[in-house]
């Protein structure tokens, strides 16, 4: 499902399921995540070294699931912004290679401000800027 479609689903289902105590939220990565698809399709080892690990999404998802479902629903969240707002300060542990600048996710707009983690970001792969 595309991100726009996901957004519509989140809004609709969050409203519909809130009374039943079921939360529906969207979680997106700010940076590219080191997956086989990224390695195979977007630039191999060079791009993988400029990614974060999937652990950042796992930690954010765990934190989301820990929130009260009737109150925390219908949210659109960026992984690092959400984690930083909830007290996480060490983002270096999520990096594949701490010496490489991070590649931005193609679908996260540049105007969504990143938390102050001291990290360097590159534009998205294939963004066409």
Q: Which domain holds residue 84?
A: 3-122
**How far apart, in whole angstroms, are the C-alpha atoms of residue 49 and residue 33?**
10
Q: Phi first, then psi: give them for residue 65, nearest 5 degrees.
A: -65, -20
Q: What is the CATH number of the domain that holds 14?
A: 3.40.50.720
Residue 128 lies in a domain: no
**How far apart, in whole angstroms, are the C-alpha atoms of residue 90 and residue 21?**
32
Q: What is the pLDDT of residue 119?
A: 85
Work out the number of other CB atoms within 10 angstroms of the CB of residue 124: 18
Local confidence pLDDT in tens for the 129 residues of the chain? 677 888 899 999 999 999 999 999 999 999 999 999 888 887 788 899 999 999 999 999 999 999 999 999 999 999 999 999 999 999 999 999 999 999 988 777 777 888 888 888 887 665 444
Residue 95 lies in a domain: yes
Q: What is the pLDDT of residue 129?
A: 40
Look at the chain and report how many structural domains it folds into. 1
Residue 9 lies in a domain: yes
């Amino acid at each position: 499902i595309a991100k726009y479609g996901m957004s519509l689903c989140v809004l609709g289902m969050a409203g519909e399921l809130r009374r039943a105590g079921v939360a529906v939220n969207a979680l997106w990565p700010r940076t590219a995540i080191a997956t086989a698809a990224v390695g195979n399709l977007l630039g191999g080892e060079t791009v993988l070294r400029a990614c974060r690990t999937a652990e950042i999404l796992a930690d954010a998802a765990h934190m989301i699931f820990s929130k009260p479902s009737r109150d925390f629903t219908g949210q659109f969240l960026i992984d690092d912004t959400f984690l930083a707002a909830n007290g996480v300060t060490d983002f270096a542990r999520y990096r594949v290679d701490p010496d490489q600048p991070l590649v931005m996710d193609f679908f996260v707009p540049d105007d969504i401000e990143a938390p102050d983690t001291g990290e360097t970001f590159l534009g998205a792969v294939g963004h066409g800027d």
